[in-house]
Structure 1
Amino acid sequence: MSDQQPLQEYLREHLVIGDGAMASWLFQKGVPIGLCCAELNLSRPDLIVDTHREYYAAGARLLETNTFGANRDALSRHGLEDRVYRINWKAAGLARDAAGRDAWVMGSMTAISSGRVRHEILPGHREMFIEQAEALLAGGVDGLILETFLDLAELLLALKAVRPLTTLPIIAQLACMEVGKTRDGFSVSDSFRRLSDSGADILGLNCRLGPGEILRTIEQASVPEGMVLSVFPNAGRPGLMEGEFGYTSSPAYFAERALRFREQGVRIIGGCCGTTPEHIRAVADALTGLLPINRLNPEPPPEPMPRTAVFVSSISDTLLERVKQRPTVLVEFDPPKDLDIEQYMIGAASLQDAGADVITMADNSLAQTRMSNLALGAIVKMRLGIDPLVHIACRDRNLIGQQSHLMGLHALGIHQILVITGDPARFGDLPGASSVFDVSSFDLIRMVKQLNNGISFSGQTLRERGRFIVGAAFNPHVTNLASAFNRLERKIEAGADFILTQPVYDRATMEMIAEGTRHLPAPIFIGIMPITSARNAEFLNNEVPGIRLTKEAMMRMGKYPAAGPDARKEGLDIARELVDAARKYFQGFYLMTPFAYHDMTAELTRYVKNKRPPLK
């Protein structure tokens, strides 16, 4: 423990300079990016002590332990989950060795879920916070600093978990995604009040934003009476400079902002990502000899004027309504692999004439590059007036791209989507492409429904609610059918509104699907895909994941080794028989167009709809 007087007592009459970044400064000193910085407490203690001493020599008198992300969850990614106690305990000692007798050492802890999609705080988080805090306290820290929490909910959880462990000061710091608001939608003023009520001794902001945006947030915030404020801004926003990512705020600018923070009543001023000992030295020089200023909250903002509601037309006659009332046909007709869409539009028009309710468009199925289904879906909707249903794979877009893609679909009036995992890129026509998979199909379904609730992926409130109708896929051709049904139930619990199955080629499987899904609220669209030849049958049965043909189908198609009109006629006959079998169990039909033979699925659509073929 420090020989210095208690931190809170000292802060009544003094400013305190915090340290700067640990990880980004270590990276500048040659530590490889991606290495677990917390592990260096054990393998390179000299490097960590020297870094602490650099900040102390620059004027920092509040040093944070090198334990940002040293919780069980983060350490497990490096195979270090069994060293949580040792790493944190050691880190406290290293910081204490580097600190002078006039400095405080604060045990650094951060959020566990900040790198994840915001959905819910996992049950084990509380125990992880307690485990890390106990190790830091045993190591002799002078208090705890809970920092870089994007969500107020998780910071409150951490605070309530560690508050009973110690009477030492706890600093609670949020990281805002935008000025004045947390990721989970709380204002900073409201957050500060709740954190104060839950036992925080010092309130603050750090990371994500630079000095200017954090200053604006502090200027607008209402702070509970008598509460001490801390700020640890980034050195501006990161950007690409001379081929490398870096931060732009100079030490001189940082020092000027520090004076402005003091004017707002802030008493602990340090730095986060991108800051160096030079930034801290500039802040210390600027604040030398200055006393703290008592905080004056701004005048409460005026009540916002009621916003005129934006008229939003409701979606009528969706596939969900149609399938309750009559046989409903979704036809999958994949976008072309070419730039020419003339033949595609001819095919789409023929499907519309046949009575297809919806045309579905895959999202680069089998990882084969095709035209954007967003663009093609918009063209089909505009020219033909038929509703598209676009597939959205988890493979090709990160979370930024996924939300942007969905917002574009919404703007174009395309609200029917199918969320799928997607085939790995290495198996497609560009095997060197990256597979993103930021989230699973379960997560993406939940996040689309989050948009429907007027909340963005990051937790920000949207002015308009989404109107997406979300489908999910079901593969009945698995060994463990009970597990497949369980997975399907979980997709519906996540928010799936309807289900499309893989192609089915026998009555028994249809009956099994009907029986296993009878209790589910989402309608099932049974998958049927005409076979085009014996070779096609062999390929589907033996090489395509999720498809199994019956022996009877294989024998019937075996009579037609080469593709041609006779083979396709036999394939259509089999498909019609499957439609007849399916009518007993399902009102939804999901017809898949093979090899762009749209005339086959058009004929099958007419059969489902009992429509006569057009006169020629």
Structure 2
Amino acid sequence: MKPDLRKAMADQVLIGDGAMGTFLYQKGFPVGISYEELNLTAPEVIRDVHKQYMKAGSDVLESNTFSANYDKLSKYGLEGKVEEINRAGVRIAREAAGPQGYVVGAVGSIRGGKRNNISSEELKRHFEQQIHAQLTEGVDGLLLETFYDVEEMLIALSLVRKNSELPVIAQFAVEDIARTLDGYTMADAFRIVKQAGADVFGFNCRTGPNGLARALETLQHVRSLPASVYPNAGIADYVDGEYRYGASPEYFGQMALRFADMGARLIGGCCGTTPEHIAQISAALQGYQPMPLPVLEEAEERIVIQEKQEPASKQPGGEPTLVDLVRERHTVIVELDPPRDLDISKFMKGAEALKRAGADALTLADNSLAVTRMSNMALGHLVQSQVGLRPLIHIACRDRNLIGTQSHMMGFDALGIDHVLAVTGDPAKFGDLPGASSVYDLTSFEIIRMIKQLNEGVAFSGKPLKQKAGFVVGAAFNPNVKHLDKAVQRLEKKIASGADYIMTQPVYDAELIVRMKEATKHLDIPIFVGVMPLASGRNAEYLHNEVPGIQLSEQVRSRMAGLEGEEGRAMGVQIAMELLTTAVEHFNGIYLMTPFMFYDMTVQLTQYVWELSGRSLSPLSH
């Protein structure tokens, strides 16, 4: 009779299996299907993979259930088969393992590295359903794998411990620096997970053997549990439409000895590994006698994050932020769209004119309406360095994935551009390149949280940065809705995510400005009221009928009807002045939007704000 899995790992190094998903992909099963559904539709295929790993030397098989949870299966219309797929996955693995092999139920991360894309309550429901099905079918233990943050791991682990005393293997997906996405060092994560009841602590996926070895090294002074490692077969390459992994089986055999010497008691493979990799691991560890595991934990040496040094371009003491200014006096932000071609001369003239008019900042949209424009990062830097006007840059979720977004933010930090506005971004299919992809790795709530995380000296990946950023992050607010109270509730969530100030969509109703003041008076961050002068009657009708988030009153549309050219712009400025009269009375923050590069209109309106507020200034005094 085989020993309990805990005792087996205490006495020897067990060999795990290799990849299931990428192995099936190599066998011709395409990306885009549920590999877990094959437990029902092609059980003989899954059984054959398991048997190949057993023949190669595996002691422990994972059930083919990594993504067999409600959330992941719902993408294939299989949410009603969670229990059936999980139980079949365990049953097939048990048949292949035979009487001497161990079967662990595979439970993968549901968030998959995306921060807060699913609530804790939903995670609990989905994990409990999957874990219950596997326990019911009868497993030797549970393998919680490819988790990116401690919070999600604790949810899954607590549900296992609530229902079972079986062994639990807790594996994180980390880079070699070994931090979770929520910022925990592996030493801290180890202590937390051990206290919560894990029997084995380890790593899988995201990197190859060398990266996981470096991660394992960070635990050498605290580890008192067996370790598990399931590395990828190196870094994937994408060649001729296929993913290929380069780490050889022989290399895996060499690294297996290194892992065992570092305290690993369960060694297998993740993405890109095959039965050949497992055979080399098994051969390398034949007859290996592990050293006893340490008993005591030692204190962890903490990583100290340096405070950010002030950019040399700042004045001694630091220039006040827009949030500081608007709490003291009326403050004007003016939007000037980057050009759609390579000529920036008119844009720069507009920026200079607005600087002379006393604008406190120039804000630049991020390919608004999904129309391709010049980089607002490049133009923002030119405005800052050549004009001396503070840039406030929009960051859209649409155009960049997590990698690109953090890289973009790091570039802003290097340039000393510290004021940003986080927006979702209009879908690409409605812009000038409708074949482009809309990324949306992040929601507007998540991008605010992630940018503020940089201010804590922590990268999106959870890695510590050598210094802290100093971003002041704004959020967008659309008051042009039927139920203003619901819009304010959404706004409150953005503030809870870390927004420092709010910029509204353009408002064309003075009564709405008053109602907006009443509805937001309980908020403790400043609001910049959006006012965009209309350029013509056609412009008014286009904005009202076709642009999301903009709604004109019937009175405004009537006054603009039929007006074009200078006559239309004059009426647009007059209407904007009337709106500003109300806005300045109720809000310190004013956000002016320049239509069609007619910056003379927003220069005139900026000057009008100063007249209303009683603020006199020389062109260079601000």
TM-score bucket of the superposed structures, by smaller chain: over 0.9
| Among candidates 193, 200, 203, match of residue 201 of structure 2 | 203
Give 1:188 deviation, angstroms: 2.8
Asked if the contact 1:205–1:230 (Cα under 8 Å) also holds between the matched residues in 2, the reply is yes
Q: Sort the Cα spacing of 1:300 and 1:112 in 2 relative to 1 into closer, same or farther, 3 A.
A: same
* Aligned 8 A contact 2:310 2:318 in 1: no
- The verdict on how the C-alpha distance between 1:537 and 1:228 changes in structure 2, with shifts beyond 3 A counting, is closer
Which residue is 1:364 aligned to? 367
Q: How many angstroms apart in 1 are the aligned matches of 2:12 and 2:584? A: 80
Instruction: Kindly report which structure 2 residues correspond to 1:124-139, keeping only aligned pairs within 5 A, or say none.
Output: 124-139=122-137
Cα pair 1:215 1:261 within 8 Å, conserved? yes
Unaligned runs of 5+ in 1: none
Aligned to 1:454: 457
Change (3 A) 1:43 1:574: same
Q: Determine the C-alpha separation between the residues in 1 that align with 2:469 and 2:117.
A: 17
1:124 alignment partner, SS class: helix
Partner residue in 2 for 1:91: 89
Gaps of 5+ in 2: 312-316
Q: Report the equivalent of 2:593.
A: 592
Cα distance, 1:457–1:612 mapped onto 2, change above 3 Å: closer
For 2:555, the equivalent position in structure 1 comes to 552
CA distance in 1, matches of 2:270, 2:344: 52
State whether residues 222 and 297 of structure 1, in contact with CA within 8 Å, keep that contact through their aligned partners in structure 2. no
- Deviation, 1:296, is 6.4
Secondary structure at the counterpart of residue 417 of structure 1: strand
Could you tell me how far 1:218 is from its partner in structure 2?
2.6
Cα deviation for residue 584 of structure 1 reads 2.0
- Report the count of equivalent residues: 610
Indicate the larger mover: 127-136 or 377-386: 127-136
Which of the numbers 524, 531, 544 marks the counterpart of 2:534? 531
Give the CA deviation at 1:297. Answer: 9.6
Of 428, 445, 449, the match for 1:442:
445
Q: Which amino acid aligns with 1:218?
A: L
Residue 472 (structure 1) aligned with residue 471 (structure 2): no
Q: Which of 124, 130, 139 is the matching residue for 1:141? A: 139
Shift of 1:298: 12
Q: CA deviation at 1:226?
A: 6.0
Q: Which residue of 1 aligns with 2:405?
A: 402
**Superimposed CA distance per residue, residues 524-560 of structure 1 (whole angstroms, 9 cap, x where no aligned partner):** 2222122222222222232222223333333333352
Q: Shift in Å at residue 200 of structure 1?
A: 2.1
- Give the aligned partner of residue 275 of structure 1: 273
CA contact (8 A) 1:364 1:370 kept: yes
The letter for the 2-side match of 1:397 is R
The amino acid across from 1:52 in the alignment is: H
SS of the residue 2:451 aligns to: helix
Note if contact 2:222-2:297 (Cα within 8 Å) is conserved in structure 1.
no
1:185-264 alignment to 2 at 5 Å? 185-222=183-220, 227-241=225-239, 244-264=242-262
Structure 1 position 181, deviation (Å): 3.1
Counterpart for residue 175 of structure 1: 173
| Alignment correspondent of 1:265 | 263
**1:481 aligned residue (477, 480, 484):** 484
The answer to whether the 8 Å contact 2:422/2:475 transfers is yes
Q: Name the counterpart of 1:38.
A: 36
Asked if the contact 2:179/2:462 (under 8 Å) is kept, the reply is no
After superposition, the Cα gap between the structure-2 partners of 1:475 and 1:540, relative to the gap in structure 1 and judged at 3 Å, is same
1:593 shift after superposition: 0.7
1:52-75 Cα distance to aligned partner (Å, 9 max, x none)? 111111111211110112122222
Hey, what does 1:416 align to over in structure 2?
419
Change (3 A) 1:511 1:250: same
Shift of 1:120: 8.4
**Normalising by structure 1, what TM-score?**
0.93
Equivalent residue letter for 1:574: I
CA drift of 1:118 comes to 5.3
User: Identity across aligned pairs (percent)?
Assistant: 49
Q: TM-score, normalised by structure 2?
A: 0.92
Superposition RMSD in Å: 2.5
The letter for the 2-side match of 1:110 is G
Relative to structure 1, is the Cα distance of residues 115 and 227 closer, same or farther in structure 2, using a 3 angstrom cutoff? closer
**Residues 183 and 519 (structure 1 numbering): CA distance in 2 closer, same or farther, change over 3 Å?**
closer
Q: Give CA-to-partner distance per residue, 1:141-194, whole Å, 9 cap, x none.
A: 112112222223322332222124223322222222233333333333333333
CA contact (8 A) 1:540 1:547 kept: yes
Q: 1:575 to 1:152 in 2, by over 3 A?
A: closer
Alignment correspondent of 1:22: 20
The equivalent of 1:316 in structure 2 is: 319
CA change 1:528–1:267 in 2 (3 A) is closer
